Structure 1
Amino acid sequence: MSIGERLRIARTTRGLTQEALANLVQTPLTQGAIAHIEGGRSESSRHIVWIAAALHVRAEWLVTGKGEMFEEPWPWPSISRSAVGELPSHVQEDIGDYIQLKLNKYARKEDETGPDA
């Protein structure tokens, strides 16, 4: 499968026209440029990272077809990924420990009461 085919699949999966995608990309890009990639007339684009971000797909998948198509969903929409990424590593570890603690507690509770309780 070509980059153009993957781009078309990702774009249509998101329910976007070529023009709508061009408008979502955070750098100047035209509908024609997207059409060139999808049509196989251009096998690369300096905008590919921006295109992938606008489509919420992994750039590596879009370029090579390797790995999963979609980014992992972020479970906390009111908290930005970048804000968490900028925290000191020891704070990130504390957050991870807290999440693990909650997961363990939930698993024990489910074991005691059953999954339907």
Structure 2
Amino acid sequence: MNPSPINSIGARLLAARKKRGLSQEALAKLLNPPISQSAIAHIENGRNETSRHIVWIAAALHVRAEWLVTGKGEMFEMEWPWPETSRYTLEELPAPVLEDIGDYIKMKIGQQTKHSKNHD
């Protein structure tokens, strides 16, 4: 049996908050500036289907804002695999360097796939 879809912003917020192990109050305090616990409760129980804080709530929960609002796509953002290099630093690199990095990653993935198939 498939799990029932999470078909409202409130249900998605509740699911994401529980996955992160946060109370409504703890989530509210994570936001900058903090909002009230009741504001979180109003979204979760469907009294408020929109909030100007949704993007910040999504960021605090490390979920994609599009998923939180619409339910489309993946729930979680992909974890950044290189913590010693900021995303900003990478984004500032010239296009040819980014292409080289992309080519290198594709090559390494291809090598890993080939290696895995040889050991099966």
Task: Structure 2: give runs of 5+ residues left out of the alignment.
Answer: 1-6
Q: Which residue of 2 aligns with 1:73?
A: 79
Task: Structure 1: give runs of 5+ residues left out of the alignment.
Answer: none
% identical equivalent positions: 63
Q: Which residue of 2 aligns with 1:105?
A: 111
SS at match of 1:97: helix
Q: Aligned pair count? A: 114
Aligned pairs for 1:87-106 within 5 A? 87-106=93-112
CA RMSD of aligned residues (A): 1.7
Q: Which residue of 2 aligns with 1:34?
A: 40
Aligned pairs for 1:47-86 within 5 A? 47-86=53-92
Q: Give the structure-2-normalised TM-score.
A: 0.82
Name segments (4+ residues, structure 1) moved above 4 Å.
none
Contact in 2 for aligned 1:5/1:38 (Cα 8 Å) = yes
User: How much does 1:83 deviate?
Assistant: 2.2
> Equivalents in 2 of 1:98, 1:26: separation in Å?
38
In structure 1, which of residues 8, 11, 31 is the aligned counterpart of residue 14 of structure 2? Answer: 8
Is 94-103 or 61-70 further displaced after alignment? 94-103
Q: Which residue of 2 aligns with 1:46?
A: 52
